[in-house]
């Protein structure tokens, strides 16, 4: 008796999808596979006795596979778990892999088990080839993040029946099927060993609408790749019923430098053809037979095998180019960005990138004639002169030759500001500053140690102390407290206070440290309650929600107030300390009456106190894509002059319109002689999901000022305004906008982390920019 595994074709939930040109501005595409991998039983006898396999030793886990059992009997869990554990030792990922396992009645009497990736993704950050589709678990591993937190990565259905062998010893009887082996094989399909091909036997037309990474390594005898053939077409149909080889360098090496032959019988077997190794070639190759289409009863595989693991290494790489049939088209959207004695050249591939088999790109400095070869965008061109003008061109090349040159805009490299490292051991991803006791102070995070630090400028030097994260006495904690921070100061009588609000990333709590110039006091403001309150509850108490995402403090003569995002429910909370007790409230995000919003609010926020009035600016998001990019949102503003939750007044400062696709990304607010001035980013449809404009306006004005930063690159979620300038992140560097002249200048050439906070600080009457640049707390002087 034998079983045959069938992988159904991967389809779309919508009728048609255009293959996107990969770009830094493009969106990730998520598709739900229409098919599963099925295991069928037959009456064919086994060819030969199978040698039992042993389990892998106690290897260190490379990933965390989490089974979710649905109606699975206890006696079957150990076998299923063993297969899952084997993959956790062999499949590397920082993102947990959730496996939904269901014990269910088979759709017909021959089906033993089935498995599927929950979704497949293309064009995400970290994809080796953004034009290909990667199953959920593999896509998450490559991206380093969970691209879809709402759904599991794998689904496995196990059929009820008396044909299973549940033992873990590999001694499966010849009339049973080893459950460990079956799950091991099927999980390999769900993790990435799968083709997206489909064949119509009546017309002999083949189709490949969502080419997987697996398909990019399937190569015809003449060197062409499966993904390069027209689809749907008879040519594609002929290819998937003819000879196909695996072309990945690791797979070839693991197969004694011979291209592994894929299973492509002349009569196409739906779900089995292409998605397996050839049966005749590999059925008697010990562990390397694990991915052949047939499995004998009594046959056991408890290890993936060297060939399968090598092929998975190939899937994590950019596939090799195929055979070129002509010159590539011209490169698109070539942009030159300003650098310090350098330029950053960014571009998108030609429109025919799918079939052009591009081997490299040639970037030419049109002023000097010098060329630089690269395999992808962006590329840094160094050795330029600041103050001189430069233009560049880019050509795509393949084995047939080069495309026509595409010309860039003209840029003028410029000097950056003078920099001084304050703390070389702290990344300072989260940072804020103020003046306390007439001294500049900077509170910042140290992600490596998990500490919260304070740098004070005293006697012409910076004195660094750890505020929290390094002890468990007097209210301090040993938890990771290197998250978001806000600072406020106040004076009561003759005592000046420094208020520091920060996050406990371990427990997802909001912490508070109070300094009176001599001693520190610590307490938890929120997040450590018994239960998470529903947003509909009017009477608020300390809750158990995740409150670690953002916070902003504001102090008046008679109260300390802090505002923070409830990540668990997407609302903006507030806490006011009066008479030694914290009083809690919902500020926004819970309703659409009274000028409030039901948007997902306060990913970013800032607060400033003017007299008795609290002024709070924050973002409100009403739509996300698969990678959590904003698709619809607003910039909100709330004020009150008391501590009563009934006194809030709200307004929307900016919202998408016919000229602006998305707004927000980060916010800033400043009080100057002309009143309150706010700042944020906006994105046009062309640059979405990344913003391309810095916008600022007076709070009471009806229109703001928008300035594009085309020559400085992609804007990111960091912005900080002072009276004359706005500091922001540009291509993960620091840039500054002069509000009077609308001129943008480069501050730093080294990179900051995406999502980092930046700020201004005044030292000896000179304004400095501060940020964590190159993973070091750094200060910049114009």
Q: What is the pLDDT of residues 113-123, one digit of tens each?
A: 777 788 899 88
Q: Whole-number mean pLDDT of the chain?
A: 87
Query: Rounded CA gap, 289 and 280, in Å?
Result: 10
Write down the pLDDT at residue 78.
95
Specify the pLDDT at position 8.
28
Task: Give me the pLDDT at residue 629, please.
Answer: 66
3-class SS of residue 373: strand
**pLDDT (tens digit, 9 = 90+) per residue, 496-542?**
999 999 999 999 999 999 999 999 999 999 999 999 999 999 899 99
d(CA 330, CA 390): 21
Average pLDDT over residues 695-719: 88
* Res. 12: pLDDT tops 60: no
Strands (E), 264-389: 294-296, 332-338, 342-348, 360-365, 371-374, 379-382
Q: Is-contact 10 35, C-beta < 8 A?
A: yes
The C-alpha angle with vertex 247 and arms to 242 and 252, in degrees rounded to 5, equals 115
Confidence category of residue 60, pLDDT binned at 50, 70, 90 = low
What are the Cα distances from residue 498, in Å, to 495, 517, 610? 10, 8, 18
In the chain the first and final C-alpha atoms are separated, in Å, by: 79
| Mean pLDDT, range 127-153, rounded to an integer | 91
Least confident of 66-70, 109-113, 167-171, 333-337: 109-113
Mean pLDDT throughout 731-746? 94
How many other β-carbons are positioned within 10 Å of the β-carbon of residue 116? 27
pLDDT of residue 198: 86
Secondary structure (3-state) at 305: coil
pLDDT at 228: 84
- pLDDT tens string 456-502: 999 999 999 999 999 988 889 999 999 999 999 999 989 999 999 99
DSSP states of 184-247 as a string? HHHHHHHHT-----EEETTTTEEE-SS-BHHHHTEEETTS-BGGGS-SSBHHHHHHTTS-EEE-
Would strands 509-515 and 401-402 be described as parallel, antiparallel, or unpaired? unpaired
Residue 632 scores a pLDDT above 70: yes
- Tell whether the model's pLDDT for residue 260 goes beyond 70: yes
Confidence of residue 30 (pLDDT cuts 50, 70, 90): low
Query: Using one digit for the tens of pLDDT, what is the confidence trace for 409-437?
Result: 999 999 999 999 999 999 999 999 999 99
Q: Which long-range contacts (CB under 8 A, 24 or more apart) does 159-166 make?
A: 159/104, 159/105, 159/106, 159/111, 159/112, 159/113, 160/103, 160/104, 160/105, 160/106, 161/106, 161/112, 163/41, 163/112, 164/76, 164/79, 166/75, 166/76, 166/78, 166/79
Q: Model confidence over 182-197: pLDDT tens digits?
A: 899 989 999 999 888 8
291-342 pLDDT per residue, tens: 988 877 888 889 999 999 999 999 999 998 877 778 999 999 999 999 999 9
Predicted pLDDT of residue 750: 86
355 pLDDT above the threshold of 50: yes
- Identify the pLDDT of residue 19: 28
Instruction: Give mean pLDDT, residues 683-694.
Output: 79
Q: Measuring CA to CA, how many Å separate 427 from each of 77, 730, 777? A: 44, 18, 6
Percentage of residues of the chain with pLDDT beyond 70: 90
Q: What's this model's pTM, rounded to 2 decimal places?
A: 0.73
pLDDT digits (tens, 9 = 90+) for 590-626: 998 999 999 999 999 999 999 889 999 999 987 766 5
List the beta bridge partners of residue 536. Answer: none
Q: Is the pLDDT of residue 711 over 60?
A: yes
Assign 109 a pLDDT band (cuts: 50, 70, 90): low
pLDDT higher than threshold 50 for residue 42: no
With a cut of 90, say whether residue 134 has pLDDT above it: yes
Structure tokens belonging to residue 59: 């290897």
Q: What is the pLDDT of residue 627?
A: 55
Rounded average pLDDT over 50-62? 53
Q: In whole angstroms, what is the distance from residue 85 CA to residue 187 CA? A: 11
């Amino acid at each position: 008796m034998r079983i045959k595994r069938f992988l159904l074709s991967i389809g779309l939930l919508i009728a048609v999808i255009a293959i996107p040109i990969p770009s830094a501005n493009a969106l990730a595409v998520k598709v739900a596979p229409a098919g599963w991998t099925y295991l069928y039983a037959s009456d064919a006898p086994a060819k030969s006795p199978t040698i039992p396999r042993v389990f892998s030793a106690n290897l260190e886990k490379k990933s965390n596979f989490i089974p979710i059992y649905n109606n699975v009997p206890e006696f079957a869990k150990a076998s299923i778990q063993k297969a899952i554990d084997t993959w956790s030792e062999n499949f590397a990922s920082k993102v947990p892999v959730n496996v939904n396992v269901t014990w269910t009645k088979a759709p017909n009497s021959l089906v033993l088990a089935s498995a599927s990736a929950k979704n497949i993704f293309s064009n995400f950050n970290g994809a080796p080839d953004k034009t290909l589709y990667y199953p959920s678990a593999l896509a998450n591993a490559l991206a380093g993040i969970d691209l879809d937190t709402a759904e599991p990565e794998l689904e496995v259905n196990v059929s009820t029946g008396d044909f299973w062998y549940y033992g873990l010893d590999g001694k499966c009887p010849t009339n049973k099927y080893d459950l460990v082996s079956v799950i091991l094989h099927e999980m390999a399909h769900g993790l990435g060993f799968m083709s997206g091909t489909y064949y119509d036997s009546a017309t002999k037309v083949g189709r490949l609408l969502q080419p997987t990474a697996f398909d990019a390594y399937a190569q015809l005898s003449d060197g062409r790749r499966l993904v390069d053939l027209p689809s749907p077409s008879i040519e594609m149909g002929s290819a998937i019923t003819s000879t196909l080889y695996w072309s990945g360098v690791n797979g070839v090496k693991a197969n004694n430098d011979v291209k592994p032959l894929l299973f492509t019988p002349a009569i196409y077997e739906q779900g089995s053809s292409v998605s397996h190794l050839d049966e005749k070639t590999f059925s008697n190759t010990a562990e390397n037979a694990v991915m052949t289409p047939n499995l004998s009863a009594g046959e056991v595989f408890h290890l993936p095998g060297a060939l399968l693991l090598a092929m998975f290494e190939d899937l994590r790489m950019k596939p090799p180019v195929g055979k070129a049939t002509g010159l590539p088209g011209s490169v698109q959207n070539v942009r030159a960005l300003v650098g310090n004695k350098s330029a950053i050249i960014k571009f998108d591939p030609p429109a025919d990138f799918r079939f052009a088999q591009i081997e490299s790109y040639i970037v030419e400095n049109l002023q000097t004639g010098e060329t630089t070869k690269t395999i992808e965008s962006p590329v840094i061109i160094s050795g330029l002169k600041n103050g001189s003008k430069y233009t560049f061109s880019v050509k795509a090349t393949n084995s047939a030759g080069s495309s026509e040159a595409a010309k860039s805009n003209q840029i003028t490299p410029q000097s950056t500001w003078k920099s001084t490292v304050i703390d070389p051991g702290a990344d300072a991803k989260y940072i804020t500053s103020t003046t306390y006791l007439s001294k500049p102070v900077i509170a910042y995070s140290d992600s490596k140690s998990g500490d919260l630090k304070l740098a004070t400028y005293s006697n012409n030097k910076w004195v660094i102390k750890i505020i929290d994260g390094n002890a468990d006495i007097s209210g301090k904690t040993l938890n990771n407290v290197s998250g978001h921070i806000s600072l406020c100061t106040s004076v009561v009588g003759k005592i000046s206070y420094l208020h520091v609000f920060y996050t406990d990333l371990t427990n997802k709590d909001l912490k508070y440290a109070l300094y009176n110039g001599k001693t520190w006091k610590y307490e938890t403001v929120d997040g450590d309650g018994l239960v998470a309150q529903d947003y509909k509850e009017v009477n608020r108490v300390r809750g158990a929600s995740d409150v670690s995402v953002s916070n902003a403090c504001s102090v008046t003569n008679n109260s300390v107030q802090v505002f923070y995002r409830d990540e668990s429910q997407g609302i903006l909370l507030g806490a006011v300390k009066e008479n030694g007790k914290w009083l809690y409230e919902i500020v926004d995000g819970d309703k659409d009456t009274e000028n409030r919003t039901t948007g997902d609010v306060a990913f970013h926020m800032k607060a400033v106190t003017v007299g008795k009035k609290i002024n709070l600016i924050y973002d409100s998001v009403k739509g996300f894509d698969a990678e959590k990019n904003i698709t619809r949102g607003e910039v909100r503003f709330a004020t009150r002059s008391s501590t009563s939750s009934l006194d809030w007044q709200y307004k929307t400062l900016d919202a998408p319109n016919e000229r602006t696709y998305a707004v927000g990304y980060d916010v800033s607010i400043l009080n100057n002689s002309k009143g309150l001035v706010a700042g944020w980013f906006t994105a046009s449809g062309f640059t979405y999901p990344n913003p391309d404009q810095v916008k600022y306006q007076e709070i009471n004005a009806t229109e703001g000022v928008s300035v594009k930063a085309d020559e400085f690159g992609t804007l990111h979620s960091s912005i900080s305004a002072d009276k004359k300038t706005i500091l922001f992140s540009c291509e993960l560097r620091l840039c500054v906008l002069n509000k009077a002249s609308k001129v943008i200048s480069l501050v730093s050439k080294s990179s900051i982390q995406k999502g980092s906070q930046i700020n201004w600080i005044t030292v000896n009457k000179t304004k400095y920019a501060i940020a964590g640049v190159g993973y070091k707390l750094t200060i910049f002087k114009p």
